Amino acid sequence: MNDIRKCVMCGAALNEAIARGGHKKCYDCIELTHLNILLSASNLNSIFSKKWAANLLIKYYEYLKEAGIKISAVSDNVDKAKKILVLAEKYCLSPYEINTDWLEKVCEDKPKNVNRVRTSFLCFLEELGILKMPDADDLMQGQIARQIERCPKEFGRLIEIYCNTRMELRKRQISNNEIAPLVLKTISCDIGVFTKFVKWIIQTHKEVHSWNLVQEEHVHEFLLTLTPNNRELVRKDLHVLFKLAKRKKIITYIPMMDYPCRELPSVVEPLNISEQKRVARILMQSVHTNPLACILGCLCFFHGLSSRQIQSIKLSDINLPGKKINLPDRSPVYLSTEELLALENYARNRSHMKNIRKREYLFIGDHGATFPT
């Protein structure tokens, strides 16, 4: 009975479900067997017609294995990468012809099969020197271009004009060395608002097929679908768009009035002294049980850091001998003994995350992490 409940490959105990099914291997060994068959020379020769594609799949498997992620995730990603490489050898003469645009298109055409493998496969190709990853600005500009492409032509032209004017403004601000030039994410968010409005118009008012046919009641009806906190911001954005459209003679009148911004009543009251003490006590109690929540809470609660400042903290900013974290736009954050302990516990957990060697920021996503229990 004991032999039946042991994996014949690794000797680990089989769970009840897999033992009842008559299997003699654990889930990890089943996945490992699948990978061995998939990556065998005979199987690769039957799948691929070009040797470079087969070699890339083997190297990708070794890359994932070295990253320390679970064998089930490795098997899943290798299966998806195989589908990408089968297409790649069909359309590319060499691996150096693979680029981010082609890979994005493949992942969009087959989101169910290959979309999740995109990030790790891009990192893998970059590490091999096959692919040069675009910087953050190039990625954001690509995202903005795709947002505009998805918009119907009757509405998309105005949004494209808006995008170009904002890009020109950003370029002037950068050339004038302004402290806070317009960021691409703001432009992307504005275009997201406009495309959302266009999508709503097309779905609810099929008779409106151009900006000239948009009426004030349409705008107000759309604004009522939003939350009160978001409504005022969207109204101002739409008014800016309509002013630009009238100036460019795309519309003959602005279909909404520009009235002063309404300040909404406060919905969050400040904490009283007893509540603040309770929050501080909870933070101190989570030094060992939840170090990430503890250090994040301390940076907000005790030091008043914004989410943007927290996200921008790099490992190089931490000065352990000085017990402080250096920040570019404000004085350093000096850490207490409890905060240093929480930071140490978080660093220990952080070391188990995948691709950790490439992560320069202190706080990162925990996808694929295998924290010890």
- Does the pLDDT at position 16 exceed 50? yes
The pLDDT-based confidence of 142 (bands split at 50, 70, 90) is confident
Q: Cα-atom radius of gyration of the chain, to the nearest Å?
A: 27
- Does the pLDDT at position 238 exceed 90? yes
d(CA 44, CA 82): 10
d(CA 72, CA 70): 5
The pLDDT-based confidence of 191 (bands split at 50, 70, 90) is very high
- Does the pLDDT at position 128 exceed 90? no
**Mean pLDDT value across residues 195-201:** 94
| pTM score | 0.51
Residue 12: exposure state from Cβ atoms within 10 A (0-12, 13-18, ≥19): middle
d(CA 160, CA 86): 36
* Predicted local distance difference test score (pLDDT) of residue 131: 72
pLDDT in tens, 77-98: 888 888 888 888 877 777 777 7
d(CA 4, CA 25): 10
Domain definitions of the chain by residue range? 39-128, 136-247, 273-358
Tokens 């032509």, residue located: 153
pLDDT in tens, 329-346: 788 999 999 999 999 999
Q: Are strands 324-325 and 333-334 parallel, antiparallel or unpaired?
A: antiparallel
